[in-house]
Structure 1
Amino acid sequence: MNDARILLVDDEQSILELLQTVLRKEGYLHVDSVKTGEEAIEACKAKKYDVIVLDVMLPGRSGIDVFPFIRQTTDAPVLFLTARSSDFDKLTGFAIGGDDYITKPFNPLEVVARIRAQLRRYVGSTYGKLSEATSPRSTNVFDYGRFKLDELAGELLVEGQVVSCPALVFQLLLFLCKNPNRIYTKSELYEKVWGEEAFSDDNTVMVHIHRIRERIEADPSYPKFIVNVRGLGYKIVKDELQELSAP
């Protein structure tokens, strides 16, 4: 874990120095920092990073603007860092593919905790693929008719076609598939899948649920598989016709 490479992107030198200091105290020694979006793009072209902390309010091109260009060179999780705290801003960051959203002012230890949670999901794996060395079981395929989730292959198939699935989207869907017809609150899902306390922010789970629905539902506006039980939480619906197979 401590070999992970981290890129910090922020135009405030004090924030960069604070995060670098805390990360290094926590054992993360490979921490680079840049101050502009253009520098971030070039850094991602030059090196492979395991996680990126990207400020939204950058001089010139914003973090939102440069994010698609960063995604062209790396699949590393991106944590947006910004003074904007409205739900709209958070949802914008998640909607374009961000993995987490941290608002200023922040506790640097919270940033470290969120980075650590992302690294647990990404370092040593590729988008949800679990090596057979870490799991003695045969490949499990969760068959829901319209879609199938192949755990060890790390593949989501919808109507027979492989659909791209970012790691945390895959892991959240996998967790639900392993626990069908059971209701989980947003906080419970965050703690189970992300591996950290929810920090009183459940937008992350909500947006990732939306991403899953976009992939597996015929009409995401009227979901049949992942449903919201009002006032309680989410569950994935599995009936007696849907089998768990192990080829």
Structure 2
Amino acid sequence: MLLTAPPGAVLSHGTAAELWGVQIPLGDRTDHRVHLIVPSGSRAESRRDRQAHRVPLAEHEVTRRSSFPVTTPARTWRDLAAVLQRPALLAVTDQVLAGWCARSDLARQLSRRPTGRGVARARDVLPVGDPRAESPMESVLRWLLHDAGLPTPELQYVVRDATGRVLGRADLAWPEHRVLVEFDGDVHRERDVFVNDLRRQNRLVAAGWTVLRFTSADVLGRPDEVVAEIRRALR
């Protein structure tokens, strides 16, 4: 990966995210370039297989991962804020908070680079970040609802009946309205998962809950309708 990179190059941006196990939704899946931060005086140029970034990089913002020099999770988050839109950035934020950083770590990173590209996005998204999110597209859905001004949902909400028996768990919930929202990824198409989903949904509906389920085709293809359906349910 770094065999032809200039001295002092550090893996960054989407390449660093991949090394940290952070998935970026809504990205350009045709972009397989390695992203590098290179020293400001380097003559290295971007080319078909790599993207060179020339931005200031402090020593404490570099570590090693799988033997490669790589930006720290907090610095990776700040760099991605410059290139991702808010829905995808929230997905990254949720994952970084779940596995690598406290919210205060990201706030400190933002204070070190308080101006420049991406700062407004980072400031908007950071307060919404939640380590309980369980999938990147669930985070994208959550930003859609936040941006539409809907009330903040509970994440991974466990529903119980009057005896305390667990009826199910939902990605997003508004308990005061008895409304549950699920994001169904590809795994929900598997037969066993599909059957369990139906049984759980029947239990929840019978207990008086409204259950709405959406896929990536809904969130990406008809976002206004998704918002409208949830808004109606909350009324």
Name the TM tier (shorter chain): under 0.3
Q: TM-score w.r.t. structure 1 length?
A: 0.26
As a proportion of its length, which structure holds more helix? 2
